[in-house]
């Protein structure tokens, strides 16, 4: 597989930038392994990249960014690694109060009920405290799975049918979208996956129906502003037809 050039040129004008960028933060474990370190060190480094990329997107004026941080399947990993990721979430929520004056709305995508009570409370509080900001929406997918999300939406719609408030014939793409964790948020325009893996891994499978994909073999902890510039330049050159001609 030949990957795209890693030399950024001129950034496209704002109107040619994506409205919603999704990131699959992959390659942390391999980054650590290459250095003879435990995997959790890779996640710690990955969290630094996450913060750097959030700030850069904010400066570029990107309105919606989402990050795949922990999947519904990631609970199968060793306890030490899972605990390290939970700690990074917890620390980040404590630190992120600094974003408030940058008018960033925070949303956690996924089923929060599996997290500790204390982490759940912090997640809900951060969402509530930032709900009125509209400059940028930052989504962190945690205990998230695309199929799980669609099943969750189907159950919500079925409950409405059972309660007599919805007719089955009125179930549309819009009503399904409105019952996803991303309700009200535009679909992904550009999906970026580093680390050389060429798959979606159950990330925002509904919302990426017409997304443009950008793959690079750089590992997530090494992903930086220049890599993102390359992806944005490439995105601007795509001819998006959404099924038309």
Task: List the catalytic residues.
Answer: 26, 74
* Residue 149 binds to ligand FPP (criterion: CB under 6 A): no
Stretch 181-200 residues interacting with ligand FPP (CB under 6 A): 195
* Residue 88 binds to ligand FPP (criterion: CB under 6 A): yes
* Residue 23 binds to ligand FPP (criterion: CB under 6 A): no
The least distance separating ligand FPP from the CB of residue 164, rounded to whole angstroms, comes to 41
* Residue 216 binds to ligand FPP (criterion: CB under 6 A): no
Specify the residue, 54 or 153, whose C-beta has the smaller distance to ligand FPP. Answer: 54
Single out the residue of 94, 93, 87 nearest to residue 108, CA to CA: 93
14 C-beta neighbours (distance < 10 Å), count: 9
- Contact letters (x/-) for ligand FPP, 37-66, by CB under 6 A? ------x--xx--x----------------
* Residue 28 binds to ligand FPP (criterion: CB under 6 A): yes
* Residue 21 binds to ligand FPP (criterion: CB under 6 A): no
CA 215 – CA 226 distance, rounded (Å): 14
């Amino acid at each position: 597989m030949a990957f795209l050039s890693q030399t950024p040129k001129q950034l496209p004008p704002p109107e040619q930038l994506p409205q919603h960028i999704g990131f699959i933060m992959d390659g942390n474990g391999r980054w650590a392994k290459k250095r003879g370190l435990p995997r959790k060190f890779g996640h710690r480094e990955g969290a630094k990249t996450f913060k750097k990329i959030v700030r850069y997107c904010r400066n570029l004026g990107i309105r919606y960014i989402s990050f795949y941080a922990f999947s519904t399947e990631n609970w199968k990993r060793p306890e030490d690694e899972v605990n390290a990721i939970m700690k990074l979430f917890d620390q980040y929520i404590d630190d992120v109060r600094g974003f408030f004056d940058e008018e960033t709305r925070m949303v956690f995508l996924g089923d929060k009920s599996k997290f500790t009570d204390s982490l759940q409370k912090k997640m809900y509080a951060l969402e509530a405290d930032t709900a009125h900001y509209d400059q940028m929406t930052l989504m962190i997918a945690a205990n998230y799975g695309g199929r799980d999300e669609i099943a969750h939406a189907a159950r919500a719609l079925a409950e409405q049918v059972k309660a007599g408030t919805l007719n089955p014939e009125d179930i549309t793409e819009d009503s399904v979208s409105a019952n996803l964790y991303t309700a009200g948020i535009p679909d992904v325009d550009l999906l970026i996956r580093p680390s050389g893996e060429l798959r979606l891994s159950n990330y925002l499978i509904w919302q990426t129906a017409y997304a443009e994909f950008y793959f690079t073999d750089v590992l997530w902890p090494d992903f930086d502003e220049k890599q993102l510039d390359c992806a944005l330049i490439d995105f601007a050159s795509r001819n998006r037809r959404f099924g038309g001609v």
